[in-house]
Amino acid sequence: MEELGRLEDLPLEYRQELLKQNLVPLWPSLRGVLPPKIPTRQTKPIFWEYASIRPLLLEAGDLAPIEKAERRVLVLANPGHGIEKMQASSAIYLGMQLLLPGEYAASHRHTPNAVRMIVEGEGAYTTVDGDKLQMHRGDLILTPTGLWHEHGHEGQEPVIWLDVLDLPIVYYMETSYHEEGKSQNVSNGQLSKLYVHGGVLPTSLNPKSNSQYPMLRYAWADVRASLEVMAKQDPPVEALQVTYVNPLTGQDAENILGFYALMLRPDQTLTLPARSPASVYHVIEGEISVHIAAEQFKLSIADTCCAPGYTPVTLKNHSSTEPAYIFMVDEAPLHRKLGVYEIR
């Protein structure tokens, strides 16, 4: 990188005078904040293996009673950002949350948007804005900004899910806070069930017709079925990918992060072009490899990895007989809203 004048080259007295007045010379730092052609990214390609997280999370079940922990979560932190920052990328937070049979994670709401991708176990539910939503493996449950949510467990086995929040960017903006609440008046998740096919919407939305977020649960069975229909098209669709959208607007399900499901045919290799947002890959079914720059990760069911932006990502299905299904997250809605979205 072409170097501009260095800070050390300035007379000490001059630097001290600047410091006293809270002034900084731009030129020694200009290339740092505006690097040539491609941004500096702290987000490193990182991989988290579920088989290694699981025993530690179950141990947390003994070490951290839910009443003390509020949310029992191990955060998947990217060391590129410093792991104490608890971020996977500049905008994405990932956590694995454990809820044991009979436990209840009290109602609260916060400014960051969240989703849960259910990884294991039956019998848990999340109540969002009064809608009691059952959690089955592969389901995506939304808790958009400002909506009350609480988790409960009426089953027999531990339930584990992946939390995805836009906490890092909301925190950076100095807009992150939470509020505790009373238990909610519960209905039975009816509203989300009304949305069956993308092309037709329920005409009457009573009793919550003014909800901005009518669909809060995306059943894996439905999402998988959509991908299978796409896979059968002739001529073939190359990239089998669906976007989780808000059925009222057709736009991304939440404001800041984008959520997608991908299917890889047996033996398929799919290269996603370099795009400005960082992204996350989490295996719902199958065995894949993920190439990110010079790194290559092998991912089995429930494993997760992240990729920096401006980097092509190649996904490969290892099976020659079975499809693979991947849950993907990126920062595209944020980048589009800010006008910085790029495909290279």
Q: Which is nearer to ligand GTQ, 14 or 104 (CB)?
A: 104
Question: From the CB of 303, what's the least distance to ligand GTQ, in Å?
Answer: 18
For β-strands 73-75 and 217-218, DSSP reports them as unpaired
Question: From the CB of 73, what's the least distance to ligand GTQ, in Å?
Answer: 4
Which residues contribute to the site for ligand GTQ (CB under 6 A)?
Answer: 71, 73, 95, 97, 110, 114, 149, 163, 165
Question: From the CB of 277, what's the least distance to ligand GTQ, in Å?
Answer: 21
Six-digit token string for 126: 């999340």
Q: Which is nearer to ligand GTQ, 97 or 145 (CB)?
A: 97
In sequence order, the 6+-apart residues with CB closer than 8 A to the CB of 313 are 271, 272, 279, 281, 290, 291, 292, 307
Question: From the CB of 153, what's the least distance to ligand GTQ, in Å?
Answer: 13
Q: Which is nearer to ligand GTQ, 110 or 282 (CB)?
A: 110
Question: From the CB of 249, what's the least distance to ligand GTQ, in Å?
Answer: 24
DSSP state of 48: E
| Conformation bin of residue 8: beta by default, left when phi > 0, alpha when psi is -120 to 50 | alpha
CA atoms within 13 Å, Cβ hemisphere of 66: 16
Question: From the CB of 326, what's the least distance to ligand GTQ, in Å?
Answer: 21
Q: Which is nearer to ligand GTQ, 253 or 324 (CB)?
A: 253
Q: Which is nearer to ligand GTQ, 161 or 195 (CB)?
A: 161
Q: Which of 119, 141, 117, 120 minimizes the C-alpha distance to 129? A: 141
Q: Which is nearer to ligand GTQ, 165 or 288 (CB)?
A: 165
CA atoms within 13 Å, Cβ hemisphere of 324: 30
Q: Which is nearer to ligand GTQ, 114 or 170 (CB)?
A: 114
Q: Write down the number of H helices and E strands in the chain.
A: 8, 21
Question: From the CB of 36, what's the least distance to ligand GTQ, in Å?
Answer: 37
Distance CA 105, CA 276 (A): 36
3-class DSSP state of 98: strand
Q: Which is nearer to ligand GTQ, 256 or 324 (CB)?
A: 256
Could you identify the residue written with the tokens 């998988």?
A: 224
**Alpha helix positions (H), the chain:** 12-20, 30-33, 50-63, 66-69, 167-172, 190-193, 220-231, 332-338
Question: From the CB of 109, what's the least distance to ligand GTQ, in Å?
Answer: 9
Distance CA 117, CA 113 (A): 14
Distance CA 243, CA 252 (A): 7
Six-digit token string for 6: 């260095």
Distance CA 160, CA 85 (A): 23
Q: Which is nearer to ligand GTQ, 123 or 247 (CB)?
A: 123
Question: From the CB of 110, what's the least distance to ligand GTQ, in Å?
Answer: 6
